[in-house]
Amino acid sequence: MSRETGRDWERIRQEYAASSMSLRELAEKEGISLSTLGKRCGREGWQQLRKQRQLELGSARLEQVVDKLLGSISRDLDQGENLEPRDYKALSSALKELGEIKEQLCSAGLKGGREALEVRLSPELEELSG
């Protein structure tokens, strides 16, 4: 049995996909030649797996932020003792927009469109969620 076949490649692949570690860093950590690791990475599509995992994590985080904002706006509208009419309008509009965003995120649309939406909205939603 060669030294390479005795490795836990599934664990190494999962570690690569779940981290931001470079192939060089992973190769050093695992005691594998960079060439061997690079070939396996390319052959088995590890970079695509990493990108998909990052997209899924980003999407989940974005949906959490949208849910948090929806709840916050709903509470503000329900408790709106000191709100001006323009505040109701702004909050209602924001609530509608966030609902539409969540619907788009949850729909089974094209991944490219979803990714573009997430990239465009992430900074704004993060800022609003505080």
Residue 129 has pLDDT above 90, yes or no: no
Q: How far apart are CA 38 and CA 42, in angstroms?
A: 6
- The region of weakest confidence among 21-25, 29-33, 73-77 is 73-77
Number of H helices, E strands in the chain: 6, 0
Could you tell me how far CA 73 lies from the centroid of its own chain?
23
Residue 8 has pLDDT above 70, yes or no: yes
Which residue, 76, 72, 63, 59, is CA-closest to 130?
A: 72
Averaging pLDDT over each range in 3-7, 67-71, 78-82, which range is the top one? 67-71
- The contacts of residue 58 (CB under 8 Å, 6+ apart) are 118, 122
Which of the two residues, 34 and 75, has the higher pLDDT score? 34
Averaging pLDDT over each range in 6-20, 54-68, 81-95, which range is the top one? 6-20
Residue 124 has pLDDT above 70, yes or no: no
In the structure, what pLDDT confidence band is assigned to residue 26 with cuts at 50, 70 and 90? very high
Cα-flanking dihedrals φ and ψ of residue 80, to 5°? -60, 55
Write down the mean pLDDT value for the chain. Answer: 77
What are the sequence ranges of the domains in the chain? 9-44, 50-129
Interval 37-52: pLDDT, tens: 999 999 999 999 998 8
